């Protein structure tokens, strides 16, 4: 929740995302991204973008972190904060595909901190994906 997540914690999460971006594999775009997810357990999981010569196979930093988190800690995880960083000094909010993937595991009020045109910006996840796809199974 934004109210319980101090700016310091989000800054630390952003720093971990920036460190993760050092491991980016981005020979095609040169755009090096890192993401850090904080789970309700307190665990922090990072990821980076991994590109492919078949460009469409590229995975973003946010989704790398997400699949790592589920692989490590299982399907019951809940994400309570996200930070994104890039080493290019550019805005990089999570892309639409990453938002839809995050929606599966993230708390609606979780703060998402990312580089924006005006500097670092933080917003609640529910504001980022107001009409995400949902499937109500019978």
Annotated catalytic sites, by residue? Answer: 62
What is the rounded CA–CA span in Å between residue 50 and residue 21? 10
Q: How many residues bind ligand THU (CB under 6 A)?
A: 14
Report the relative pairing of strands 79-86 and 33-39 from DSSP bridges: antiparallel
Q: Which of 22, 29, 52, 90 binds ligand THU (CB under 6 A)?
A: 29
What is the rounded CA–CA span in Å between residue 67 and residue 119? 28
Strands in 33-39's sheet, in edge-to-edge order, are 44-48, 33-39, 79-86, 111-116, 119-124
Q: Which of 31, 40, 124, 132 binds ligand THU (CB under 6 A)?
A: 31
Residue carrying the six token digits 């933080």: 122
Decide whether 18 or 26 has the Cβ nearer to ligand THU.
26
Q: Does 82 bind ligand THU (CB under 6 A)?
A: no
What are the helix and strand counts (H, E) for the chain? 4, 5
Site residues for ligand THU, window 99-138 (CB under 6 A)? Answer: none
Q: Does 44 bind ligand THU (CB under 6 A)?
A: no
Q: Which of 94, 110, 113, 129 binds ligand THU (CB under 6 A)?
A: 94
Which residues does 70 contact at the CB level (< 8 Å), separation at least 6?
77, 105
Strand partners, 25: 50
Least CB distance to ligand THU at residue 119 (A) = 18
Least CB distance to ligand THU at residue 94 (A) = 4
Binding residues for ligand THU, rule: CB under 6 A, are: 26, 29, 31, 33, 49, 51, 58, 60-62, 92, 94-95, 98
């Amino acid at each position: 929740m934004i109210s319980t997540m101090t700016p310091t914690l989000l800054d630390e999460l952003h720093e971990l995302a920036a460190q993760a971006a050092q491991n980016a594999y981005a020979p095609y775009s040169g755009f090096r991204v890192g993401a850090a997810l904080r789970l309700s357990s307190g665990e922090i999981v990072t990821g980076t973008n991994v590109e492919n010569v078949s460009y469409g196979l590229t995975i973003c930093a946010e989704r790398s972190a997400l699949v790592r988190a589920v692989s490590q800690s299982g399907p019951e995880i809940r994400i309570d904060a996200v930070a994104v960083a890039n080493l290019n000094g550019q805005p990089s909010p999570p892309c639409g595909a990453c938002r839809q993937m995050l929606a599966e595991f993230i708390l609606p009020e979780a703060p998402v901190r990312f580089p924006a045109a005006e500097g670092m910006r933080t917003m609640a996840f529910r504001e980022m994906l107001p009409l995400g796809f949902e499937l109500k199974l019978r």
